Structure 1
Amino acid sequence: MSLTFKTLGRGRRVAAGSLIAVAALGLTACQSGPDATSRPSSNAAPVTSHDQQSGDGSQSAGGKPTGAGPQSSANGRGPSASSAKETSPGGKPTGKAPSAAQSQASAMAASDRCTADQMSLRLGASDIGAGNIRYPLVFTNKGKKACSLRGYPGVSLIKRDGSAVGKPATRGGGSGGAVRLQPGQSAHVLLHTLNEGVSDTPCWDRSQLVFVYPPGSKEPMTTGSAGLRVCGGRFDVTAVEAGGLG
């Protein structure tokens, strides 16, 4: 009887020990399980806030870049590939170079332009035909260096007291190209109106002066108009052409 009792007692102790071990394992699983699933969620929180602030989810759960930036940039949520190309390795915009070159070219063109103070101006003889009247307005380079003219001048007719006659000339014909004037050389434009009686539109008063802004210039020039009068409501000017007429 005593032997049996001891055997049974030992069996109970073994069984009790097994139950304790199982319980310990179960407790360990309960403690480690929630942590294992919650850590990625807590690590994902900065990614979510980063998305909300900048629209770029290019971070891993550990906060390191995942390489998703270029993809989000392609979607317009970050620096684009084109904007990246606009900056040099030193961080300076490389796109400024063409603009600077264009500005320099524009400055050079402006310095090469014929100005009012280096030219003389005269109105040539009229050319009448088929109801139209054309007057050559001639620019001559009186300076000591070559210069260029291009485009349309601004032309108005005035009286000697400075009052305007009618409206400024409108542009007619093509814009043409640049005309290079060596010292002493001339270029011209044509002033065009209609002969009296061709149209029922009344003629303007006679003028005494032609008031001109050379192409690209803010300084005016004047010359006598020889009584030029606009009729038929038609008064236009062509772009600069090489040579002096009349």
Structure 2
Amino acid sequence: MVYTPRSTRHGALLVGTVAVLGLLTACGNGKDVHSAPPVTASGTAAPATDASKSPASATSGTSAAASTPTGSPVSPSAPATTASPGGGKTTAAAGSRCHTSELGASVGRNDPGAGQENFPLVLTNKSARTCTLRGYPGAAFVNGSGTQLGPDPRREPGSPVTVTLKPGQSAWAGLTFSNPEISGAKTGTPTSLLLTPPDELDHLTVAWSGGPVPVSGSSSSVSLSVLAPGTGP
């Protein structure tokens, strides 16, 4: 047996204790030297939501204004388009209605039949532009002093159509009444006929040469048809 002095054993024990303490300190210093580096995931971030928008605008997914396929705003007052004879589309000019100042008026030849008197009332475009007429004209018989004779003509049933008039072209409406000599209605003899284009306030004055017209009685009704292209049947 080898004898080890007391001082030598004490020194060895001290060295071993220091080594153990150093190992414990290295393991518990809070630093993990073997920790894996952070992992970054790829992807697309969701867009931020604007909290200032109302719930309706944020969730509806629609715009307050309609748009064309190209994204251009559509004006509510954009002019309407109509089909052209060539199959394309043309834009109707705003305010294309014929005005009284652009028209001339005349009364065509009587075409009597079955006790009826039938006069075409003709409106002709005398302006330099193309314009339109649609519906019924207004008409009234007047005497030499401008007093109206009889009531306004009644409107015959019909389907109004838009009549496009190039410069010089005409549209007509039929004025019809029973022959007073056959109907026995009270008559008056006008000097003029006042003809008002559709949707206009001003009238055109046409000399009347068609003789007596019914102004009262059970068979005194005078009627008007819708406007049609041309100058008469």
TM band (smaller chain): 0.5 to 0.7
Following the alignment from structure 1 to structure 2, what is the Cα–Cα distance between the partners of residues 172 and 234?
A: 11
Q: How far apart are residue 125 of structure 1 and its match?
A: 1.0
Name the aligned partner's letter for residue 222 of structure 2: F
Following the alignment from structure 1 to structure 2, what is the Cα–Cα distance between the partners of residues 133 and 228?
A: 11
Larger relative helix fraction? 1
Give the aligned partner of residue 213 of structure 2.
230
Contact 1:208 1:227 in 2 (8 A): no
SS in 2 for 1:193: strand
Name the aligned partner's letter for residue 214 of structure 1: P
Give the aligned partner of residue 191 of structure 2.
208
The structure having more radius of gyration, on CA atoms, is 2
SS in 1 for 2:187: coil
Alignment of 1:28-177 (within 5 A): 100-101=77-78, 111-177=95-161
Of the two structures, which has the highest relative contact order with CA contacts closer than 8 Å and spacing of 6 or more? 2
Distance 1:148 1:233, change over 3 A: same
Q: Between the two proteins, what is the percent identity of the paired residues? A: 30
SS in 1 for 2:158: coil
Q: How far apart are residue 217 of structure 1 and its match?
A: 1.1
Contact 1:205 1:229 in 2 (8 A): yes
Following the alignment from structure 1 to structure 2, what is the Cα–Cα distance between the partners of residues 215 and 110?
A: 17
Contact 2:195 2:204 in 1 (8 A): yes
SS in 2 for 1:112: coil
SS in 1 for 2:188: coil
Distance 1:87 1:120, change over 3 A: same
Q: How far apart are residue 241 of structure 1 and its match?
A: 0.6
Following the alignment from structure 1 to structure 2, what is the Cα–Cα distance between the partners of residues 226 and 130?
A: 21
Counterpart of 1:240 (choices 224, 227, 232) is 227
The TM-score normalised by the length of structure 2 is: 0.58
Query: What runs of 5+ residues in structure 2 fail to find an aligned partner?
Result: 1-55, 57-61, 66-73, 81-91
Q: Deviations over 1:17-65 (max 9, x none)?
A: xxxxxxxxxxxxxxxxxxxxxxxxxxxxxxxxxxxxxxxxxxxxxxxxx
Following the alignment from structure 1 to structure 2, what is the Cα–Cα distance between the partners of residues 228 and 175?
A: 30
Distance 1:168 1:86, change over 3 A: farther
Please identify, of 173-182 and 123-132, the stretch whose mean Cα deviation from structure 2 is larger.
173-182
Contact 1:187 1:244 in 2 (8 A): yes
Give the aligned partner of residue 201 of structure 2.
218
Distance 1:227 1:182, change over 3 A: same
Give the aligned partner of residue 35 of structure 2.
none
Distance 1:228 1:109, change over 3 A: farther
Cα root mean square deviation, aligned:
3.2
Q: Deviations over 1:49-104 (max 9, x none)?
A: xxxxxxxxxxxxxxxxxxxxx9xxxxxxxxxxxxxx8956xxxxxxxx88645xx5
**Structure 1 position 185 matched with structure 2 position 172:** no
- Equivalent pairs, count: 158
Contact 2:110 2:210 in 1 (8 A): no
Distance 1:111 1:199, change over 3 A: same
Q: How far apart are residue 129 of structure 1 and its match?
A: 0.7
Contact 1:152 1:175 in 2 (8 A): no
The TM-score normalised by the length of structure 1 is: 0.56
